[in-house]
Structures are given as C-alpha cells and as structure tokens.
Amino acid sequence: MQRVTRAGVRWLVGAAANREECGSVWRDNPRAPYLLPTGSHFDVVVVGQELGLETFDQLRRRRMPAGPVLADWAARQIGFMLPPSSRDNFVRTLTREESEPPAYRYLAADAVVVVPGPLTLAGDRYEWLCAPSHESGPSPERAPAVAVMLAASAELIARAANFAEVPFHDAG
C-alpha cells in the first residue's frame, strides 16, 4: 500500500477540473477514487496488468524513474503517469526498442483517468503502486525509461511464455 504525500495530493488536486470538489471528496474519504483529466498535469500510458507489473518491477530494480504508477485491479490495467506532452518521446523510444511494440493506450489531452484516493488499502480496486510524493515537474528521463522497460518486459514475458511451451524432459 502506497500513501500519497501532502505535496502529492496538492499536485493531483491541481489537475482536477473541479479542484474544490476533488479536495472535498478526498477530505471526506481518502480512499475514494477520482476522475482526473490527462494532458495538462500529466499523461498516462496504460498497459495490461502482467506487462505493467513486470515493467514496474524492472524500473524499480534498476532504479529508473517510474513516476507515479497506478493499478486498476478489476480492469487488470496498470497506468504510468508521464510528464504532459511526452507522447512523441515515448513513442519514438518505444519504436526504436521494439519494431512491434506491445499493446498500450496513451492518454493525453481530451482523456480522463481514474486515480486512486490518497490513502488506499489492500483489496481496493484502485491502488497506487508508486504514489505521487511531490509536485511532479518535468522529468525528461521518465518517458524513455518507461518505454525501454515496457519493450524489455514484453520481450521477457514472451520468452518466458515460449519457454513454458517447450516440453521439458528430465535427464535422469
């Protein structure tokens, strides 16, 4: 369970179309998810749960910038928050790494994302894997880091799946 810091809450509330309402919802129930627009404070790359969890794990192991990462367990999706207007950098890096990139959705202007509340509990549908901890400023390294690890994780998952299909015979 990840907890959003006060500065992280201010950053998220600052992204809301109705800041008063968002702040009020979270004061009343800090576990409540909330719908935030993408494109001005952040963009979001959404991938399937297996790929997203592997990508998140690889980013953390290598101490690469992941930024805020959220999970929707019911939809089996993971979202990586990137600085706004990162699409070109993300896509360019991903296609350089992988000729057939894994499936993803890029949410920017004119889209919305459901974010977990500032304080989630295990078993909540929406949860922070890596919660916002400060006013998230531009991070030029985050989009390429997520793209590179997304491609690497997709390759790792594909290789593991192929290996599992090969019959294994005990030599003894």
Residue 172 in any domain: the answer is no
Residue 163 has pLDDT above 60, yes or no: yes
pLDDT the model gives residue 162: 79
Residue 92 in any domain: the answer is yes
Residue 172 has pLDDT above 60, yes or no: no
Residue 171 in any domain: the answer is no
pLDDT, tens digit (0-9, with 9 covering 90-100), for 118-157: 999 889 999 999 999 876 556 789 999 999 999 999 999 9
Residue 170 in any domain: the answer is no
Amino acid at 50: E
Residue 114 in any domain: the answer is yes
pLDDT, tens digit (0-9, with 9 covering 90-100), for 86-103: 999 999 999 999 889 999
Q: How many domains does the chain have?
A: 1
Domain range for 43 is 6-165
